[in-house]
């Protein structure tokens, strides 16, 4: 330790600073490079997730519509429904509206409500 001069210490500190700076620059550049490469992939994944969600919502909407139509037709034909069936159909009806169901089903539903059939 006695043989190390202040100049050598300064050179070591300078080298370490440059080395750490270079490593930091490489890491920063790598992050930006990887982000730019993955950005189109991420956009495609987001698009596929959106398409998938829309498809699932459309399938769910169609299934609920079919159930509601069958229920409405049964009630119009005089079929008596249990309280549990009514509770279940009310929940499905609310989901149908939330998914943006068509007004024809909503009008038929409201008609049965006004007639106190459900």
**pLDDT at res. 76:** 92
Tens of pLDDT along 12-45? 899 888 989 889 988 998 888 888 887 888 788 8
**pLDDT at res. 46:** 80
pLDDT of 2 higher than 80: no
State mean pLDDT over 36-61.
84
Alpha helices in the chain (DSSP H): 6-76, 83-98, 103-114
DSSP 111: H
pTM for this structure?
0.60
Tens of pLDDT along 68-115? 999 999 999 999 999 999 999 999 999 999 999 888 898 999 999 998
State the CB neighbour count (10 A cutoff) for residue 80. Answer: 8
């Amino acid at each position: 330790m006695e043989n190390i001069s202040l100049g050598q210490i300064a050179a070591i500190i300078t080298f370490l600073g440059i080395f750490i700076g270079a490593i930091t620059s490489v890491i920063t550049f790598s992050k930006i490079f990887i982000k730019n490469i993955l950005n189109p992939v991420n956009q495609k994944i987001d698009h596929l997730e959106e398409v998938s969600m829309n498809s699932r919502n459309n399938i769910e909407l169609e299934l609920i519509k079919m159930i509601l139509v069958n229920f409405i037709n049964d009630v119009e034909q005089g079929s008596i429904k249990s309280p549990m069936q009514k509770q279940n159909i009310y929940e499905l009806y609310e989901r149908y509206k939330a998914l943006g169901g068509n007004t024809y089903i909503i009008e038929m539903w409201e008609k049965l409500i006004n007639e106190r059939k459900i």
